[in-house]
Amino acid sequence: MRRGEGRSRPSARPEEVDPVILLALVLPPLLLALLLGLERVERWTVRPPSAPGASRGPLARALSRAAAGPR
């Protein structure tokens, strides 16, 4: 068998790829990643009110106790 025989599949060159197909393949995952990233950022920055001191560290708890004043 000579060199190159048996290769029935030609390699696709970048100039042969239709830009519309390329956009259709690349854009949905990018948009999904952007939406999920924004949701994650929003979840970390705008937290719903939870139990007092549930997810805060010791410094934040001490500061809120000091700000509340003596009982």
Q: What is the pTM of this model?
A: 0.35
pLDDT digits over 9-65, tens only?
666 665 677 889 989 999 988 888 888 887 776 665 665 555 554 566 777 777 778
Reported confidence tier of residue 1, pLDDT bands at 50, 70, 90 = low
The pLDDT assigned to 52 comes to 57
DSSP states of the chain: --TTTT--SPPPPGGGS-HHHHHHHHHHHHHHHHHHHHHHHHHHHSPPP-STTSS--HHHHHHHHHHH---
Supply the pLDDT for residue 10: 63
